[in-house]
Amino acid sequence: MSDSALPDFAAYLAPGTFDGRVVAVTGGGTGLGLQIARGLASLGATVSIASRSTEHHAAFLDEARERGWKAESATIDVRESATVRAWADGIVERHGPVHILVNNAAGNFVCPSERLSDKAWRAVIGIALDGAFYCAREFGRRMIEGDGGQILNVLATYAWTGMPGVVHSAAAKAGMLAVTRTLAVEWAKHGVRVNAIAPGPFESDGAERNLWPDDAVRQHILANIPLGRFARAEEVAGQALFLLSPACDYVTGECMVMDGGAWLGKGFWPEGVRLERRK
C-alpha cells in the first residue's frame, strides 16, 4: 500500500477533505480514537493525539511516518485541567489554531452499582465527564477567539436508555450529552459547532476485556442487536469523519447513533410467532 493510500473507511471522502485542519484527539492511540485519528490524518489534517500512556502512541506515529502524515502525540491526563491547557497551548504554538477537537478519552468497566466504590465512580466520571469538559472548554476558548471550529464528543446510547452495571459511565455520558447540546447553542454565535456520536458495541480489545469478557456475555449482547453483529471501529470512525466533514457544516447539537438498531429494542413478541387473541 502506498504512503498516500487512504484507510478503507476514509476512502469515501475526497482526498484532502481536511487539508489545513489542525485536530486534537483524546484517547487517540487505541480503539475508536486511533481509527478517527488515522482517518483525519489520511485526509490531510495535522493530528495531535493524547492519552496517559506513551506506549499507546506508537502505532499511530509509526504509521504516520510511513505514510507521510502530519502527526504528533502528547502524554496527558485529561482529568488535570492544567495539562489540558498546556497541550492546547502547545498545539497552537506549533501549528496554529485548532479547528477540531475529538473528545474520545473514556474509562468503563461493568460493576453492580451497590458495589461501586467512591474511587471507581470518580475515576470514570473524572475522565469521561470532567476531562471531556476541560478539553471542550480549553479548545473551545481558542476557537471562540479565532475563526470557530468544531467539537465531537463520543457518547454511548445508555446515556439515555441506562444499562445495568455501568452507572458511572452512563452518568458521565448523559452529562456530556447535556454539555454537547448546551455548548452547541451557547457557542453557535462564535462559529463553533458541537456534535456527538453514540456508538453501540464495537470490536476492540478494551471492550472484549471489560464489557464482554466471555462468550456467553458476548452472545447475550449480540442477541439484542437487530443487525446481529458488533460494529467495527473503522465503521464508527467513518461516520465520525462524515460528521466532521464540510458535508455537515449546518449540523450542530446533534447526536448520531451507530449501534445496529440496538437501542430501539426488538419488540415485545418473539419473531415468527403467530399471536392469537384470548377468547
101-145 tens-digit pLDDT: 999 999 888 899 999 999 999 999 999 999 999 999 999 999 999
Distance CA 233, CA 129 (A): 22
Is residue 271 in some structural domain? no
182-217 burial, b at 16+ Cβ within 10 Å, e below that, comes to: ebbeebeebebbbbbbbbbbbebeebeeebbeeeee
Look at residue 278 in the predicted model and tell me its pLDDT: 72
- Please give the tally of structural domains in the chain: 1
| Model pLDDT, residue 1 | 39
Closest by alpha carbon to 163, among 235, 265, 260? 265
In a domain, 229, yes or no: yes
Answer yes or no: is 270 within a domain: no
Distance (Å, rounded) from C-alpha 78 to C-alpha 103? 10
Out of 9-13, 71-75, 208-212, 220-224, least confident range: 208-212
* 173 assigned to some structural domain: yes
Q: How confident is the model at residue 202 (pLDDT cuts 50, 70, 90)?
A: confident
Mean pLDDT of the chain: 91
Q: What mean pLDDT do residues 20-32 have?
A: 96
> For residue 239, what is its C-alpha cell?
461516520
- The CATH code of the domain that includes 209 is 3.40.50.720
| Spatial separation of the C-alpha atoms in residues 22 and 16, rounded to whole Å | 13
pLDDT higher than 50, residue 218: yes
Measured distance CA(189)–CA(177) in Å, rounded: 20
* DSSP 8-state code for residue 57: G
In this prediction, residue 43 has a pLDDT band, given cuts at 50, 70 and 90, of very high
Quote the pLDDT of residue 275.
63
Question: Grid cell 469538559 — which residue?
Answer: 133
Of 99-108, 168-177, 257-266, minimum mean pLDDT range: 257-266
**Catalytically active residues, by annotation:** 158
- Classify residue 266: in a domain, yes or no: no
Q: What percent of the chain clears pLDDT 70, i.e. is strictly above it?
A: 91
- Higher pLDDT among residues 88 and 214, named by residue: 88
Domain that holds residue 186: 14-261
Does a structural domain hold residue 101? Answer: yes
User: Does 4 fall in a domain?
Assistant: no
Q: Answer whether residue 276 is part of any domain.
A: no
Give strand pairing partners of 72.
Answer: 48
